[in-house]
Amino acid sequence: MKLCHFEAGIDQPLFLIAGPCVIESEALALETAFKLKEMTDELGIPFIYKSSYDKANRSSTKSFRGLGVEEGLRILQKVKDEIGVPVLTDVHEDTPLDEVASVVDVMQTPAFLVRQTNFIQNVCRQGIPVNIKKGQFQAPWDMDQVVAKAREVGNEHIMVCDRGTSFGYNTLISDMRGLASMRQTGCPVVFDATHSVQQPGGNGTTSGGQREMVPVLARAAIAAGISGIFMETHPDPKNALSDGPNMWPLGNLKPLLQTMQRLDALVKSEGFIESEFLG
């Protein structure tokens, strides 16, 4: 599949979607985008910058949601123009989709909205690539029907993304078998390594997270066989305004990218013997 300026698929090198959870300021967006582009250019990893102008799925109304659509899109446009990278943002049911699609290169649908048929199809009707997150409440093979809905409106540029599955209170678990199952959709599979360590609502008015487990799950997902990795990152996660406990520190990202890149090349050079049995 053609994704922005590169080819994405299980037979292609790993790509990265990364950035802070929420747009906190223009300065932070430009700083992180510049550093991420510098890293990925050096390593030769295709890169899409991610940050949300609005996060509707907050634990509390007191939680920071972002800067709003007008200011958020202005900043994302500036990131595109000044840093020279494609950009991705989340959209919601009340999003002015045509306005967002005129700025961003990829739209992302939240996991909680994956079963909203009208929403999924309206997003896909914008005609740009869409990263559809699997619901925390879904089996991996349920994504077959989600993708079918998306393709019904004529958009073939669809990715499917796993961000963990609900497993008891305030807990998510990542089943690596699910990544192989999701490959059967025929879409590039993305693994969200940072939301997978989130503890939804675990801190009462905010979500908790196990940041130390991000590299563990990222390495396992690469070994399972994926097309892209999604990671929220921040220069100072402890003081981030959203999802700090599960974001990976920007200063520690490069060595992890190098490990993932080597694992990806090894796994893909050997092929996927399980494909013979998965069909």
pLDDT tens across 145-170, in order?
999 999 999 999 999 999 999 998 88
CATH number of the CATH domain containing 191: 3.20.20.70
Lowest mean pLDDT segment, chosen from 85-94, 99-108, 206-215: 206-215
Which of 53-62, 106-115, 193-202, 250-259 is the least confident region? 53-62
Strand-pair partners of 190: 161, 228
Domain count, the chain: 1
* pLDDT 10s digits, 199-232: 887 565 566 789 999 999 999 999 999 999 999 9
Note down the domain range covering 52. 2-270
Q: Is residue 278 part of a domain?
A: no
Residue whose tokens read 């890293």 = 39
275 belongs to a structural domain? no
Is 279 domain-assigned?
A: no
**276 occurs within a structural domain:** no
Question: Both tokens of residue 222?
Answer: 């690469």
Q: What is the largest CA-CA distance in the chain?
A: 50
3 state SS of 212 = helix
Q: What is the reported pLDDT for 64?
A: 66
pTM for this prediction: 0.94
Tell me, yes or no, whether 257 lies in a domain: yes
Q: What are phi and psi of 203, to 5 degrees?
A: -105, 20
Residue 186 inside a domain? The answer is yes
